[in-house]
A and B are shown apart, each in its own frame.
Chain A
Amino acid sequence: MLTSGFVLTLAGGYLALLFVLAFVTDRMAARGRAGLISSPIVYTLSLTVYCTSWTFFGAVGSAARNGPEFATIYLGPTLVFVGAWFLLRKLVRISKTHRITSIADFISSRYGKSTRIAAIVALIAVASTTPYIALQLKAVATSLDTLTIGRSVLTAEAQGLFDDTAFWVAASMAAFVIIFGTRNIGADEHHPGVVAAIAFESLVKLAAFIAVGLFVVLGLKATGAEYAGPLWLDPMLRETPPFQASDPARWTAMLFLSAAAIVCLPRQFQVTIVEVTDERHLKTASWLFPLYMLLMSLFTVPIAVAGLGLVGDGANPDLFVLTVPMSVGEEWLALAAFIGGFSSATSMVIVACIALSIMISNHIVMPLLLRSPWLRLHEMSDLTGLLLAVRRLSIVLILSLGFIYYRVSAHSDALAAIGLISFVGAAQFLPAMVGGVYWRGGTERGATAGLIAGFVVWTYTLLLPSIVRVGGAATGLLTEGPFGLGFLRPEALFHLDRWDPLVHALFWTLTANVVAYVAVSLVSTLKPLEQLQGSLFVDAFRRRPFADASRAWSGDTAVEDLMALARRIIGRDHAYRAFRDYARSMGRDVRELVADAALISFVERQLAGSIGAASARVLVLRIAGGETISLDEVITILDETQQAIEYGRQLEQKSAELEATAEQLRRANTQLKQIDTMKDDFLNRVSHELRTPMTSIRSFAEVLLEEEGLTQEDRERFVGIIHQESLRLTRLLDEILDLNRMDAGDLDLRLVRLDPATTLHESVAAMAGFAHQRGVTLEDAVPAKLPEVIADADRLKQVLINLIHNAIKFNDAREPEVRVSAEVSGREVVLSVSDNGPGVPAADQTVLFRKLPRRGGEREGSGLGLAICRQIVEAHRGRIELRPGVGKGARFEVVLPQATTKNEASSLPAAVASAGS
């Protein structure tokens, strides 16, 4: 057994180490060397103040009692952080802009810098944190006792105050917090030393927990007769709670609750929102913090199972982290576990105390003092000392409250249960906070009503039963209801019976809270300042708030007064530096400053950083003596910004439209250019085509004119050539004209119902002579009869003859063959001409049917034939396609729709017209 003195010395040494760390960091930060502290990693580690001794010891206890639901405590925050870019970033942005110092300040600032609501939030925060602090004291005290004397003192015998370990734990924690949490009053509540200490503690507790976890997973063997593997995998323990199912309703409720807690717990708000130095840190924290929590709970189940198998059901499962190593004689490991738990408890207490003391001093004590007519505080020259004293007293008060709660309730309640009471209390801030940043309509009255309703129901359904149970008195309240009114039983309100008390309380508190918030907000009117603040919060990402907020002042003040005021609150040096920096940012000297609305607003923000928005306003109001803004002014401000936003949005839209139009124009231009090139190309080719026959006609004509001694035979031959060439010229011109006519859309089709087989036969017959002359086998494989199509017989024949002609002409196979066939495919008739010739080169296939003469090769025909074919077929609502034929050969298909009873000839001209384009 470790001696008590040794363990206490070690714990003291650990605290001393934290002191040194915090001290050094504060020093470095003061000299502007806070590089490491302002890194996203340290920020993330400081968030793990969420993992208190409750999760360190209690998660295992929860797993041993209720199964896997312990995971929800981490899963909720995981969900919130994975979505950090939305809610959390908005909260950070708002808090940085308005120099928010605490959650009470945040809510009060949103609802018109109301003093009343800030005080309410601060009270609720104190009330809901007290059980939590008690929990930490209890955890440290019991773990210390377990480690040193093998049992928890409190469960054994009642102790005097000074014999109670928890008392000394509380006292030393108070000392630590007072020394480091209230060293100075900053312009904004940054505590780099504390953040560093907490980041360090996060590593300590993680290492301790993982050490115990690894020991359990790898080191502990079962000693059973038939099973000797790792203890936590012992089949005998397979039926224990950690492997059992958990209640889905409770699971969901806890998931929601922990998600709410990660933003609403005062200490989480402090580390996540107030202490953050850079909004971008959220990007790292969004995955690193969940990862930390995953590592932290990786071994929870094995430790719980091993604890149940090794220590047994009778022992307190909350201490398994400690008792499992102890029961197998690993005292050093148990000591490490104790330090881990101690570390999680201290970090929670430190941050919670700082956050609460800021709230108590800024929102409860200072407003009261400032308003009291006897003290005349507003005339005092230096308030910093007073402010610090108030904070230190608050810390003592908070820890005392926690200690009292612990003394009252120490005999019962698992750690997790106490923690959850706290969580539900903190969740009461959720509607006012989240509603406030997404809903303009929430009013101060609404938020106040919601908070009070939620708090009252929380006290009645959760806090009261927990106290009654512990006290053992008046248990009839729980079973019979107050005055025997059964429907008012705290844990079965309105006969909502047999629900888990936690789910029950969560439901009623949030229902009361949200309903009151929304309903009262809807019936109450927004005060001008609420309206302004509301719109600044909701549109945090969209505007530059200072420009607007500064206009919320209209008064007449001297710069000296403001400076004096600032000196009194934030200290001489701070005040001087702030004014100097402000003047610099305006491009002026301090002496040239004018007490305009901007400066007043600036001073108010500086003060808000130390005493909260509401108190700062009270003070500045006295000095500035100006009127708070009138409704008209606010409306003008809002209108202007609204207009600016609207205007910006319209501009954005317009520019998007313009961009789209420009894109379209660009595309059209490219197309035009292409067409232009094609046209040039076409003209080029055509004139070339025309030139060749012209040249030969001219030269032969010249020969005929000039040569005297020509024989009759020669003359006739030359005239024959001239005739042929002029025929070719005419044909070419005809084709060009044809194509042009079709382009213009006035192709004259005489459409009738006809059997395409007939046309095919006729075309084959017409080309038989040419085929014979070329030695090509022309095969007619067309069936005797085909379904009717609607077509112009002559034009169709022109297409087919052209295709057959090409197939024959370009066929250079040894045994040239051309096959004409037809088939029915669905509702279409496919007429095909295939050959075993050279086929169409891949490069030409894309331009084959275009209005472009064939490039290169033999110059026979204009090359316009296929373009004409396509135009004709398309005018028939058909299509012409090139497919691979036999061997290398090509296969041209003309696909025409079958004639139906409906699509009579008359319905086609529309297609004819459109085919031209």
Chain B
Amino acid sequence: MRGRRLTEVAFLLPWIGAFLLTPPFVVILQAWSELSGLPLFIVYVFTCWMALIVAGGVVYSRLDRLDGVDRPPDRRLGRRDSD
């Protein structure tokens, strides 16, 4: 079951990233930057970016460890990603 959870998280990651890095968040952060006079927007973008990388690293290394030798999925027809 953990494998399936991980796959689901891996699937979600790019969508979360896209959600954070498009309007309205982009518009909000740019407005904050302008109001505060600090480059908040750039900091925000780089933070999200780093967070995505870290999350990706964690998820994919877990997936790797979980799969071990990584059976090709076509051979597990009938067996979902159970561990």
Contact = CB atoms under 8 A, between A and B. Distances in A.
Contacts of A243: 33, 39, 42
Nearest to B13: A82
B45 A85 contact: no
Contacts of A651: 78
B56 A652 contact: no
B22 A290 contact: no
B30 A83 contact: no
A86 interface: yes
Contacts of B11: 83, 85-86
Contacts of B31: 245
Interface residues of B, number: 42
A78 B41 contact: no
B30 A246 contact: yes
Contacts of A648: 77-78
Interface stretch (A279-287, A308-316, A746-754, A906-914): A279-287
A291 B49 CA distance: 9
Interface in B1-28: 7, 10-11, 13-15, 17-18, 21-23, 26-27
B45 A245 contact: no
Interface string A153-173: 000000000000000000000
Nearest to B70: A280
Contacts of B70: 280
A442 interface: no
Given A541-B73, A542-B77, A245 B53 contact: no
A420 interface: no
Given A286-B56, A652-B79, A71 B14 contact: no
Contacts, number: 109
B77 A294 contact: no
Interface in B31-65: 31, 33-34, 37, 39, 41-42, 45-46, 49-50, 52-57, 60-61, 63-64
A252 interface: yes
A79 interface: yes
A85 B55 CA distance: 14
A283 B63 contact: yes
Nearest to A278: B70
A301 B46 CA distance: 12
Contact of A245 (B33, B37, B50, B60): B33
Interface string A53-82: 000000000000000100100110011111
A246 B31 CA distance: 11
Contacts of B17: 75, 78-79, 82
A82 B78 contact: no
Contacts of B30: 245-246, 248
A393 B1 CA distance: 54
A27 interface: no
Contacts of B53: 78, 82, 287, 290-291, 294
Given A75-B45, A79-B21, A286-B60, 7 more contacts: A71-B46, A82-B17, A85-B60, A245-B30, A291-B53, A652-B78, A652-B79
Interface of A: 68, 71, 74-75, 78-86, 238, 242-243, 245-246, 248, 251-252, 255, 280, 283-284, 286-287, 290-291, 294, 298, 301, 541-544, 645, 648-649, 651-652, 655
22 contacts: A71-B46, A75-B49, A78-B17, A79-B14, A82-B53, A85-B10, A86-B10, A243-B39, A243-B42, A245-B41, A246-B30, A251-B22, A252-B23, A283-B63, A283-B64, A284-B60, A286-B60, A287-B57, A541-B74, A542-B73, A542-B74, A542-B77
